[in-house]
Amino acid sequence: MYFLMFPLVQLHRCTLRPRGPHCLNSRKAAVRPANIPTNTRSNMASSQNMDPAAAAASSSAALKGSESGGSAARSSVSKRLQQELMTLMMSGDHGISAFPESDNLFKWVGTINGAQGTVYEGLRYRLSLEFPAGYPYQAPRVKFVTSCFHPNVDEQGFICLDILKDKWSALYDVRSILLSIQSLLGEPNNESPLNTTAAELWNNQEAFKAHLHSTFQK
């Protein structure tokens, strides 16, 4: 009785240890085959003796099921994006637009005009929007293609905007993204700048506008 309980106590202590060299090297605590229940050993043996053809068929069926699920997910995202395209086209919003790039519905090209009354008025920017398979539950990857001098845009065109990060919601769509970015151009968040030079210059609107328009490239 005491002999049978000893390995169990040792095993329990091993599982409570943090994962590391001590745990990995504690081979004495391993359960021996003799202590494995009969039904468990039987299942292990039957698993090892499984017909290779049957195993391959099972693996193939699982793969097809996974592919089928992936296709269904992409189809659902495609329908969502088609609806968003129609909504954007029918909205009549001024200064924003976006369309799929070629035949790829998961990659769009967007445009934003600087709003009137801001230093960006008269400037037109191109953006790229890439949608993941998990859209709309995962945020799209949005960046400026046209170089944009702005406190919340870095040199690679990536944008510091909360709704594209931790504040993303499935309720947002392409239209709301473009409108938010257009609004951000005129109302930057200088508390978390990606471009510190632009953030420092922002308070001097005349100097900012002069630098912005002199360096703007279509």
What is the reported pTM? Answer: 0.68
Q: Are strands 124-130 and 96-101 parallel, antiparallel or unpaired?
A: unpaired
Domains of the chain: 2-46 (no CATH), 78-215 (3.10.110.10)
Catalytic residue among 14, 23, 148, 160: 160
108 — phi, psi (to 5°)? -115, 160
Per-residue model confidence (pLDDT) at position 30: 38
Give the integer Cα–Cα distance in Å for 199 and 85: 34
For residue 71, the one-letter residue type is: S
Per-residue model confidence (pLDDT) at position 125: 98
Binned average pLDDT, 10 residues per bin, the chain of 218 residues: 43 38 34 43 46 56 51 90 97 95 94 97 98 97 98 98 96 98 97 96 97 92
Q: Is the CB of residue 113 less than 8 Å from the CB of residue 134?
A: no
Closest by CA position to 142, among listed 172, 118, 102: 172
148 is catalytic: no
